[in-house]
Amino acid sequence: MKKWKVILLILLSLAIFLGLFVLTSCQSSSEQTTAANANGTTQVIIQGGEAAIKVENSTFTPSDIVVSVGTKVTWTNTDRMAHTVYSGIVGSADAGKLFKGFIDTDKTFSYTFTKAGTYPYYCSIHSETGTVTVK
C-alpha cells in the first residue's frame, strides 16, 4: 500500500514537470528568435504582427530585423536628441520615398511593411543605418 502511493506520487510530479516543460518551450518559440549572423551582428526574427526598434546612442537596436509581410515596425527614440528614419540608402534616388519619419526624444515612428523585400533605412541627421527584411 505504501509503495503504491510513492509510485503514484513520483508519476504525478513527473507529469507536472513535463507539462511545465512543454508549456514554457511553446511560449519561447512563438514570439521571436534571435540568431547571430556570421558578421557578428544580431538578427532578430519577429513572427508577430508588430516589431520594435529602439533608437539610442545614435544606433538602431536591433539594426537588422526579419519580419513577416504586414508587420508594423515602430521605432522609439530614447535619445536626448532627435533622429529620423528614412527609407533607402543615403544619397540614392529612392531615399526617403517609401517612408520618412522624424522622431523627437521619447517619440515613435511606425511603418507597416506590406511587401516582401529588403528595406535599408538610415537617419538623415547622424547617418546610422538599419535593415528590415520582409518575408
Residues that bind Cu ion (CB under 5 A): 83, 123, 125-126
Burial class (CB in 10 A: 0-12, 13-18, 19+), 93: exposed
Smallest distance from the beta carbon of 125 to Cu ion, in angstroms? 5
Q: What is the DSSP letter of 7?
A: H
Cell 544619397 belongs to residue: 91
CA 69 to chain CA centroid, nearest Å: 14
- For residue 66 the three cell numbers come to 526579419
Smallest distance from the beta carbon of 80 to Cu ion, in angstroms? 12
Smallest distance from the beta carbon of 55 to Cu ion, in angstroms? 7
- Our CB check for Cu ion shows the closer of 7 and 125 to be 125
Smallest distance from the beta carbon of 122 to Cu ion, in angstroms? 8
- State how beta strands 42-46 and 64-67 pair: parallel
- Our CB check for Cu ion shows the closer of 100 and 126 to be 126
- Our CB check for Cu ion shows the closer of 31 and 104 to be 104
Task: State in Å, rounded, how far the first CA of the chain is from the last one.
Answer: 60
- Our CB check for Cu ion shows the closer of 65 and 103 to be 103
